[in-house]
Structure 1
Amino acid sequence: MKVLSLLKYLLPAILILALGNHSLQAQNTPSRPNVLVILVDDLGYGDLSSYGAKDLKSPHIDQLLSRGMKFSNFYANCPVCSPTRAALLTGRYQDMVGVPGVIRTHPQNSWGYLAPSAVTLADVFQKAGYHTGMVGKWHLGLESPNIPNERGFEFFQGFLGDMMDDYYHHRRHDVNYMRFNQRVVDPQGHATDLFTDWTCDFLKQQAGAEKPFFLYLAYNAPHTPIQPPEDWLQKVKQREPDIEPKRAKLVALIEHLDAGIGQVIQTLDQTGLSENTVVVFSSDNGGHLEAGAYNGNLRDGKQSMYEGGLKVPTGVVWKGHIKPNTETDFMAMTMDLFPTVCEAAGVKVPAGLESQSILPTLEGKTQAPLRKHWFFRRREGGNRYGGKTIEAVISGDWKLLQNSPFAPLELYNLKADPLETRDLAEKNRKKFNELSTLLRAEIQRYGTVPWQKPLK
């Protein structure tokens, strides 16, 4: 009886202690991080203040990159849009998921069809219990099954197509590809402002949510047409009186984009989400020289297999995990972001990817090179090339490339000649033959994957 009586008084205290301990454990257990991937369009390697631009001010992107690790040796998978986006969202070489070239509005000039079997980042995060969303430029298909809501994104607000013919009217070949999920919408305003506002709205909605989120924000800017708001253009002209008109328009478009990204980061901060959100920033390819882009001292730009077409400004931020104000020359490429954000979130990485996580590097650990050989390829289209290809392989210090289907292969030593000025194809035939054999075998591997819409 005495024991029962004692338990009667002790039981409430035991329960209180147990509940308190459980609550403390819950507080001490880190929640899964949110993931925000920001991809901009055609941003040149040298077109940020933090990457050397002298006539351009990008305080918000620079400030974002200062919160984490900035990469000086990061490559896009391809020097044009769709293939790099496919690589980002699948963690695979773009040819292995059916997107060797640019997916366009008209079938006769479209050079890819995202494989229905390809598993996307959104698929993986959705399966792991994340709320998945996308805002901005899709560029991986215009119809079922290759639209965002059927490729793992529960929420989509953006543009299905490739480039917009006008940043204010949001059309491509007079067709409206703006969507809110699968509904056609016709919003008013500059596309950069729309994508920024929609992203901020999404983040505010997620601030109190129980589930973490994965959000892919893909801006059209600074892709052509180079169409900045007039007040931004006048601001640049007043500040840089000697700037060339073409360059002034691109600088204004980038600075307007920078302000939009600043609003997104400010929303992350104000909602408290930045405390536990992995933020990735990158570009889909190098800057477009004809539009006035600056790729630093790298050779060439967008659509080219030279370094200016492939190297892109990139950074990753994760408070408490990635040391601020760090920079690395560790080599990585777009598709490697897939397993990286998965590993950071504790999400199982699908088997069979060609990509590798760079999380150890981000956390300040020593990491072996991700791969021995790095392949780059673009299936060309249009009257200029008639459906042929350009490609490159980097192996150690050496790079072999073919930048036109009508030109011979070129060989460069990137360590001794980072600006690719001295073609060593004739002087080092042994290395030339070695790399051309590797490249040929990789192209043959790609040939096993169809890249056109299957016939019914």
Structure 2
Amino acid sequence: MRSNRLHTLLLATLLAFFSATSRNTIASDRPNVLVILVDDLGYGDLSCYGAEDMRTPHMDQLMQRGVRLNEFYANCPVCSPTRASLLSGRYPDRVGVPGVIRTHAGDNWGFLDPSAILLSELFQRNEYHTALVGKWHLGLESPNTPTERGFDTFHGFLGDMMDDYYHHQRHGHHYMRKNKEVIHPKGHATDLFAQWANSFLLEQALQEEPFLLYLAFNAPHTPIQPPKSWLHRVKAREDGISHKRASLVALIEHLDAAIGSVLQTLDRTKLSENTIVAFASDNGGQLNVGARCGPLRGGKQDMYEGGIKVPACVLWPSRISPGQTSNQRLLTMDLYPTLCEAADIEISHTIEGVSFLPMLLGKEQEWPQRDLVWMRREGNMRYQGRDYYALRRGPWKLVQNSPFMPYELYHLEKDPMEATNQAHKETKVYRELVRALQYHVQQGGKVAWQSPR
């Protein structure tokens, strides 16, 4: 606790210094980039998305300061594949991550393709200082550790979930790292990640080179473990709230405060004006721990809308007008080309992501006709090592929510709750979408997804 208080005092002192000074005027005009990814945040679990028992002023403010993306989808209803898509601009099965990467080989469902060109690697080649603070979850050993995949700095957690937000272990392994060094920090992981991000921003405010900071929080993933004072505050405020729901609300409100501290550092160091900030969740909320996914069917792990539709926004104070909303349908992988275009970084290799920067800047943009595909491979007795899928074409959505279920077909414009299966009625549409999905499966099969070792 004493080290946390000293860090807070130092941070306050440095912020006071930056409030009276400006960043080095020789600094590049290229924008800084901050990507904030949160874990398992449901579409209905922010105040601005309709949560009446929750107060999330900082994430709400994020949505107001730029363009709120109302039709933004995670690339997968679980963790590792969405992260692979964010960093590669590709569908996850086309970079070797069709499922969750885990500690034990028998329960591991991905191996990030070493030849995939990650966002961090592109920005590093273009003289950005690249940093990852927080959760990695794309590999536990060489060649897939952060500092081997384009990050100059890594301060965070290699693994998937933490078994405890204060002890930071998973299956008895210590996965906290500072670059390659094993570390044993004290404190709640959400607080630590915010502190480390703030320290990085303070350092970068004195540098001439632009930065890419990927800030990936574990929260509000299980275990639902908010600091006790935050839980007490929610219970005192919300009459009749269940302990389960109060715990999740407190964990999200605690996360909101951490994000608020990072935004404050951006503002007070005067970095914010030329920093493009992208915010999203990696998948939908986990319903059995109290999450809410708004007026959508399903949640985390589901191919229904509640498992894949997530809160998201992008802001860039010097270029993007605040208070906007967009209903353009987008995927996590679209952030890759968008951020590269904002930084004037050329992409000369194949990706499936599509830049939406012109739309963000208020310009006319032609959108390619494209199908959107979701897939996941998973073990345990529920999935037994098999895949399940969804495909969206216009208003139509083909869904298989379990490997052992038949495909279902929904017209989302008429049936947003996915209540009326049209598979036996709209047979022509059904067959066309199944054929399109089969092609995607064939392409994904070209990429290895297990380590050759």
TM bucket (normalised to shorter chain) is over 0.9
Distance 1:360 1:183, change over 3 A: same
- Identity, % of aligned positions: 59
Is the 8 Å Cα contact of residues 27 and 207 (structure 2) preserved in structure 1? no
Match of 1:364 in 2: 362
1:384 positional shift: 1.7
1:249 positional shift: 0.3
Is the 8 Å Cα contact of residues 287 and 293 (structure 1) preserved in structure 2? yes
Q: In structure 2, the residue corresponding to 1:149 is in which secondary structure?
A: helix
Measure, in 1, the Cα distance between the counterparts of 2:366 and 2:171: 47
> Aligned partner of 2:291: which letter?
A
Gaps of 5+ in 1: 1-25
Is the 8 Å Cα contact of residues 66 and 324 (structure 1) preserved in structure 2? yes
1:365 positional shift: 1.9
Is the 8 Å Cα contact of residues 40 and 284 (structure 2) preserved in structure 1? yes
1:29 positional shift: 10
1:30 positional shift: 6.9
Q: In structure 2, the residue corresponding to 1:38 is in which secondary structure?
A: strand
Measure, in 1, the Cα distance between the counterparts of 2:227 and 2:127: 39
Measure, in 1, the Cα distance between the counterparts of 2:251 and 2:73: 23
1:367 positional shift: 2.2
1:208 positional shift: 1.1
Measure, in 2, the Cα distance between the counterparts of 1:365 and 1:196: 34
Is the 8 Å Cα contact of residues 331 and 369 (structure 1) preserved in structure 2? no
Query: How many pairs does the alignment contain?
Result: 430
> Aligned partner of 1:138: which letter?
W
Q: In structure 2, the residue corresponding to 1:189 is in which secondary structure?
A: coil
TM, length-normalised to structure 1: 0.93
Measure, in 1, the Cα distance between the counterparts of 2:261 and 2:209: 23
Residue 332 of structure 2 corresponds to residue 334 of structure 1: yes
2:44 to 38, 43, 46: 46
Measure, in 1, the Cα distance between the counterparts of 2:130 and 2:389: 34
Match of 1:11 in 2: none
Match of 1:251 in 2: 249
Match of 2:182 in 1: 184
Is the 8 Å Cα contact of residues 166 and 187 (structure 2) preserved in structure 1? yes
Measure, in 2, the Cα distance between the counterparts of 1:29 and 1:150: 27
Distance 1:203 1:396, change over 3 A: same
Match of 1:387 in 2: 385
1:371 positional shift: 3.9
Match of 2:118 in 1: 120
Residue 350 of structure 2 corresponds to residue 352 of structure 1: yes
> Aligned partner of 1:62: which letter?
D
Measure, in 2, the Cα distance between the counterparts of 1:248 and 1:287: 15
Measure, in 1, the Cα distance between the counterparts of 2:52 and 2:363: 33
The 4+ residue runs of structure 1 with deviation greater than 4 A are 26-30
CA RMSD of aligned residues (A): 1.3
TM, length-normalised to structure 2: 0.93
Larger-Rg structure: 1
Gaps of 5+ in 2: 1-23
* Cα displacement string for residues 20-45 of structure 1 (whole angstroms, at most 9, x for unaligned residues): xxxxxx97997100000000000001
* Cα displacement string for residues 395-428 of structure 1 (whole angstroms, at most 9, x for unaligned residues): 0110001001111100000111011000000111
Match of 1:159 in 2: 157
> Aligned partner of 2:309: which letter?
K
1:265 positional shift: 0.2
1:242 positional shift: 1.1
Measure, in 1, the Cα distance between the counterparts of 2:347 and 2:133: 24
Measure, in 2, the Cα distance between the counterparts of 1:80 and 1:202: 28
Match of 1:267 in 2: 265
Match of 1:111 in 2: 109
Is the 8 Å Cα contact of residues 373 and 392 (structure 2) preserved in structure 1? yes
> Aligned partner of 1:40: which letter?
V
Measure, in 2, the Cα distance between the counterparts of 1:96 and 1:38: 24
Match of 2:209 in 1: 211
Measure, in 2, the Cα distance between the counterparts of 1:329 and 1:336: 15
Is the 8 Å Cα contact of residues 135 and 158 (structure 1) preserved in structure 2? yes
Q: In structure 2, the residue corresponding to 1:111 is in which secondary structure?
A: coil
Measure, in 2, the Cα distance between the counterparts of 1:45 and 1:136: 22
> Aligned partner of 2:404: which letter?
F
1:351 positional shift: 1.8
* Cα displacement string for residues 295-341 of structure 1 (whole angstroms, at most 9, x for unaligned residues): 00100000000000000000001012111011111111000000001
Is the 8 Å Cα contact of residues 39 and 281 (structure 1) preserved in structure 2? yes
Is the 8 Å Cα contact of residues 332 and 370 (structure 1) preserved in structure 2? no
2:90 to 89, 92, 104: 92
Residue 399 of structure 2 corresponds to residue 401 of structure 1: yes
1:432 to 427, 430, 433: 430
Is the 8 Å Cα contact of residues 221 and 257 (structure 1) preserved in structure 2? yes
Measure, in 2, the Cα distance between the counterparts of 1:208 and 1:173: 40
Match of 2:147 in 1: 149
Match of 1:137 in 2: 135
Measure, in 2, the Cα distance between the counterparts of 1:289 and 1:65: 24
Is the 8 Å Cα contact of residues 99 and 451 (structure 1) preserved in structure 2? yes
